[in-house]
Structure 1
Amino acid sequence: MTNFTPQLRIPATYMRGGTSKGVFFKLDDLPEDLRAPGKARDALLVRVIGSPDPYGKHTDGMGGATSSTSKVVIIAKSSVPDHDVDYLYGQVPIEGDFIDWSGNCGNLSSAVGPFAIANGLVDPARVPRDGICTVRIWQANIHKTIVAHVPMRDGEVQEAGDFALDGVTFPAAEIALEFLDPADEGEDDGAMFPTGHLVDELDVPGVGTFKATLINAGVPMVFVNAAALGFDGSELQPAINEDKAMLARLEAIRAAGAVRMGLIADVSQAAARPLTPKIAFVAPPKDYVSSSGKHVAAANIDLLARAISMGKLHHAMMGTASVAIATAAAVPGTLVNAAAGGGSRDAVRFGHPSGTMRVGADVKQVDGQWVATKAVMSRSARVLMEGVVRVPREQIAAD
């Protein structure tokens, strides 16, 4: 009979950030032999979530069997001057045995400041007893700065409040986030529009040719028109996620966009990089009913946007994709700007499956190139559970 050792017990916090949930770890709390990046640490975190799960339920792990709830975060004292913490984010595929570290989670970004404060990673001299604590976060996946403005009360992070976020059932305290210089510097030359065009003709073998806006802002994004896919932009999850042929078409477009953006060399590599780029489709405003039954009036939004996350239509909107939407909307000539009616704007309110969202973006032209200086949005966050997560050591051995 095989001798099994006791499970690993690792301090962890289960948190909601925006419309996502994830398991948060302090780097120093991980077993010493599993702190360094690599297969061993990835194997640990994949097992924490409960992947790979051919049943698609994450019954034997902390994941929620959706792209929004299969996430891990590692926080450490910052290695970068003038920052409080380093924030590393991993997306765990439900049926895959790997982690995609290629991008950020904008929603979970809202939970990083509260976690850092509660775990003593922010200089106590900079934490007010009451008021707003400003936490400077180094996003280690994409090497960008995020500034979180976290409300404090009686020396603790304030979690209760009346800020409502579509896609989240209960109100909470508002956390304002600033994404500084959000254009992704990635594998290409760092241009916000890596092809040099605001709109590209994207040829997708076996699928068709699509006008697309390819942008690096918040996260690499491929934007196409909803009408080109036969949609009107008001679709909810069942209309997309139950159509396997359409999901395959969208994945093919995403893969072609990844190649055009220089993120991968061949479409065959897209499956190993499911987190980025993301693909979204946009349309002019129209009335629709959200997934919660809320009526959204065309007069109250600038455009409609639907995004695919890890192969399925997102139930609301990813935070990083929201940055990309606002940035693209601010640049005249993009598909997103056209869907919003054209012209110049420094903020956009878009309709998504769960309701609406407002995001601001500052852009300018420098030497003929568009540059994003900042994107701003509000989210909320809450600790759901804290303690230790248990992991069978025998099941995390890396090959």
Structure 2
Amino acid sequence: MAHPAQIRIPATYMRGGTSKGVFFRLQDLPASCQQPGAARDRLFLRVIGSPDPYAAHIDGMGGATSSTSKCVILSKSSVPDHDVDYLYGQVAIDKPFVDWSGNCGNLSTAAGAFALHAGLVDPARIPDNGVCVVRIWQANIRKTIIAHVPVSQGQVQESGDFELDGVTFPAAEIVLDFLDPSDDEGEGAAMFPTGNLVDELEVPGVGKLQATLITAGIPTVFVNAADIGYTGTELREQINTDPAALQRFEAIRVAGALRMGLIKTPEEAATRQHTPKIAFVAPPASYSASSGKTIAAADIDLLVRALSMGKLHHAMMGTCAVAIGTAAAIPGTLVNLAAGGGARDAVRFGHPSGTLRVGAAACLLDGSWTVSKASMSRSARILMEGWVRVPGDTC
């Protein structure tokens, strides 16, 4: 029986922050995949190697974690005063599903670098040496991200001495500015969809919980670690090997999504796995990070652990870091209270792999909180470039 030959598609495998993904230029995709739809989803699933009942991604480019099962499309921007459009797909590991409902903050770093690598930025805007300001239109959430990408001899400078907890080796620092990061969906179409800094959620099987529901960076449900039996110092293994715990977290996430107006029924949560995120916070405490490094309570403002695609993240999602920084800047949120309360324009939090600092400029305007910008530093580099191959009948 004859089978179609594999096709090859130009692609670049990149690390951005604490994530990895397969990057494509829109123009390089097969014609059937240059528009949103089933063909594009099939392609990304096959590239990553999903769905995989073995949860190993042996037959694909994925890494069998939410941090490494990602695809990105970039193209010259269709939006005035922007360089590129950046579209992100979170590929499920064990289901035939690609979630387009949110952004990846970590891969936003690589998007800025890839825009230069791929020739998508006007050469007149690229200095011979210095920093290139790449204006990114994040097409999933329709927001602007500014990436400050270091350039040496007209090319992206990838090597450097910037260290990022959760990444083994140092690299060049890329500063990201997320402009007006509050999302525009949900019933309230505001940073706090319910209008409250703290809500009471009734969670089936869990009970009543205080929660901060925020849509900055990415829709996120924050709860107190102590209220669900944790300290905030937990590492991945303590959560991800406990099916009952993961089920409780999903119940909290679904309750938050309903209250935020992101879904109308609990069943819809299965088609929206990427958002909202669920995170738990606690006051600072000393702990050993996953690398064995000691994180001292005196060196952080609070503890945060967050789940992505149903599992505790090994470090921190970049978009969730934006939510953390924004909520920390607003007195009265659970994040702000865990950090000691009061006004602040930056916060350093402890996560499973170490620490991260994020800044946010928030203000109260006409009775509503707004945030003009959130900023953080990450790094990115190309791991491999060439072609990715998939069976010819994929798309």
TM-score tier, shorter chain, comes to: over 0.9
- 1:164 Cα offset (Å): 0.1
Match of residue 168 from structure 2: 169
Equivalent residues in 2 for 1:259-274, closer than 5 Å: 259-274=258-273
Residue 29 of structure 2 is aligned to residue 41 of structure 1: no
Offset at residue 366 of structure 1 (A): 1.1
1:265 is displaced (CA, Å) by 0.3
Secondary structure of the equivalent of 1:48? Answer: helix
Q: Does 1:301 align with 2:300?
A: yes
Is 155-164 or 3-12 further displaced after alignment? 3-12
Structure 1 partner of 2:108:
109
Return the offset for 1:188. 3.0
Structure 2: runs of 5 or more not aligned = none
Q: Which residue of the partner structure matches residue 93 of structure 1?
A: 92
- Which residue in the other structure is 2:226 paired with? 227
Matched, 1:245 2:221: no
- Deviation per CA, 1:47-106: give whole Å up to 9, x if none: 100000000000000000000000000000000000000000000010011100000000
In 1, Cα distance between the equivalents of 2:387 and 2:67? 22
> Alpha-carbon deviations, 1:148-187, whole Å to 9, x = none?
0000001110000000000000000000000000001124
- The aligned residue for residue 383 of structure 1 is 382
Distance across 2 between alignment mates of 1:189 and 1:48: 37
Aligned equivalent of 1:70: 69
CA contact under 8 A between 2:186 and 2:193: conserved in structure 1?
A: no
Aligned to 2:19: 20
Percent of pairs identical after alignment?
70
CA apart distance, 1:189: 3.5
CA contact (8 A) 2:188 2:195 kept: no
Correspondence for 1:310: 309
* Structure 1 unpaired stretches of 5+: none
Deviation string for 1:109-154 (max 9, x for gaps)?
A: 0001111111110000000010000000000000000000000001
State the 1:33 CA deviation: 2.1
Does residue 356 (structure 1) correspond to residue 355 (structure 2)? The answer is yes
Task: Report the number of matched residues.
Answer: 395
Counterpart in 2 of 1:236?
Answer: 235
Q: State the shift of 1:375 in Å.
A: 0.1
Q: Quick one: which amino acid aligns to residue 261 of structure 2?
A: G
State the AA in 2 paired with 1:220: P
- 1:345 aligns to what? 344
Alpha-carbon shift at residue 190 of structure 1 (Å) = 2.0
Distance in 2, matches of 1:114 and 1:51, equals: 27
Amino acid at match of 2:59: D
Q: Deviations over 1:253-292 (max 9, x none)?
A: 0000000000000111111111000000000000000000
Q: Deviations over 1:328-380 (max 9, x none)?
A: 00000100000000000000000000000000000011110000110000000
1:206 matched residue in structure 2: 205
1-structure distance, mates of 2:210, 2:188: 22
Q: How far has the Cα of 1:393 moved from its partner?
A: 2.3
- Letter of the 2:309 counterpart: M
Letter in 1 for 2:5: P
Which residue identity does 1:278 align to in structure 2?
K
Q: Indicate if the aligned counterparts of 2:161 and 2:171 stay in contact, CA closer than 8 A.
A: yes
What is the letter of the counterpart of residue 129 of structure 1? D
**In structure 2, what residue type is equivalent to 1:116?**
A
In structure 2, what is the Cα distance between the partners aligned to 1:187 and 1:143? Answer: 14
**How far apart, CA to CA, are the structure 2 residues paired with 1:189 and 1:222?**
15
CA-atom RMSD, angstroms?
0.7
User: Partner amino acid for 1:51?
Assistant: S
The letter for the 1-side match of 2:82 is H
Residue type of the partner of 1:314? H
Aligned residue number for residue 183 of structure 1: 182
Write the distance in 1 (CA, Å) between the matches of 2:102 and 2:187: 15
Structure 2: which amino acid aligns with 1:76? S
- Normalised by the size of structure 1, how large is the TM-score? 0.98
Are residue 55 (structure 1) and residue 54 (structure 2) matched? yes
SS of the residue aligned with 1:382? strand
- Residue in 2 aligned with 1:366? 365
- Distance in 1, matches of 2:100 and 2:392, equals 23
Distance in 2 (CA, whole Å) between partners of 1:376 and 1:278 is: 19
Distance 1:83 1:206 in 2: 46
The Cα offsets for residues 200-250 of structure 1, whole Å up to 9 and x where unpaired, read as 000012221100000000000000000011111000011100111010000
Structure 1 residues 6 and 318: alpha-carbon distance in aligned structure 2, compared to 1, 3 A threshold? same
Question: Which secondary structure state, in structure 2, belongs to the residue aligned with residue 357 of structure 1?
Answer: strand
Q: Partner of 1:265: helix, strand, or coil?
A: coil
Using the alignment, how far apart are the partners of 1:390 and 1:240 within structure 2?
A: 35
Q: What TM-score comes out, normalization by structure 2 length?
A: 0.99
- Range with bigger deviation, 267-276 or 302-311: 267-276
Structure 1 match to 2:30: 31
- What is the alpha-carbon distance in structure 2 between the residues aligned to residue 335 and residue 364 of structure 1? 17
| Conserved? CA contact 2:165–2:354, under 8 Å | yes
- Amino acid corresponding to residue 144 of structure 1 in structure 2: K
- Tell me the SS of whatever aligns to 1:108: helix
Aligned to 2:323: 324
SS in 1 for 2:99: coil
CA distance in structure 2 between the aligned counterparts of 1:165 and 1:322, rounded to whole angstroms: 14
